[in-house]
Amino acid sequence: MAWRAARSLLVLHQQLKAGAPRARPPATGEDEWGLIGDAAHDPTSDHTPHNFPGWGSNIVTAADFPNRPDLGLDAHRVLDDIRRSRDNRVKYGISNGQMFSSYAVRGFDAWAWRPYNPKNGDKHFTHGHLSVVGDARADGTQPWRTIGAGTADELEEDEMGASFGPIDIQLEGFTSLTIPPVNGGVADPRPAWLNLCNDTGFTTYGLRIWCTKGDQGWQPVPGTDANGLIAIKSGQRVSLSLPDQTGGVSIKRKAIDANGAVVDPTEELPAYAGHLTCAIERGPVSR
């Protein structure tokens, strides 16, 4: 299954490696800088890829990193820095038999350290764990307020992914987008999302969105109805995860009737004639 990590976690890893260069692999094992969990992990774990409506699919929202004070990387100190910063990307952190969360839990205030006693006995003395929230805030790439914040280089595109747009959606006819095959490019396999968000004068506009794998067949993009139709309100952000192997997307404007249904435009009921755009967001190279 293709997956990606929340971008803030990739920033954290690079930042810590820059702030504590002696703790970078091979001094520590690559598996100590974990993102995705193994088969033994609880399927509800933040290390397991999950779908987040309105944000994206198959996203991991947790990162581990080594606790190696002897190499300049003190995991508990790093997490305490982040705790005190009250960064809105944080869900919770764990290290040295303690944890904190950005929300109150069982008599403990938000952002307060509390005892951590997991059923599996792993109290995280050998590593630190940071989970981030399950929404678009977790893709924020601003530096974390801890070591390495001023020295980490920008992440390479193959780690971070990239976006392109805005792309104008034509008023008449079809807007045809050709993209590298989603999770299928020979040299560049990445997940991808079609993003839409427009100011349409406090109205609702309709679109019909299909995609193809290049096999001469077309299908509705997931997140639209059985006919590929979707109604989007002014200022509403919609992110549609494109199926694996998608190589083309076709978008056509539709009209909205008095009941709010998406219908074919007519002279009496035309499609929204204002400026509409979309963008393609591409994730990091699929592992």
Q: In the chain, where are the structural domains located?
A: 4-155, 159-282
Instruction: Tell me the range of 1-5, 61-65, 272-276 where mean pLDDT is highest.
Output: 61-65
Specify burial of residue 26 (Cβ count, 10 A radius: 0-12, 13-18, 19+). exposed
Per residue in 81-95, pLDDT (tens digit) is 999 999 999 999 999
3-state secondary structure (DSSP) of residue 2:
coil
- On whether the CB atoms of residues 155 and 237 are closer than 8 A, the answer is no
Per residue in 128-137, pLDDT (tens digit) is 999 999 998 9
Per-residue pLDDT, 160: 57
Instruction: Tell me the range of 38-47, 142-151, 154-163, 259-268 where mean pLDDT is highest.
Output: 259-268
Would the pLDDT of 280 be above 70? yes
Which two structure tokens, joined as six digits, stand for 82? Answer: 């982040």
Cα–Cα distance between 46 and 26 in angstroms, integer?
26
Query: Residue 12: pLDDT band by 50, 70, 90 thresholds?
Result: very high
3-state secondary structure (DSSP) of residue 178:
strand
pTM equals 0.59
Would the pLDDT of 19 be above 80? yes
| CATH number for the domain whose boundaries are 159-282 | 2.60.120
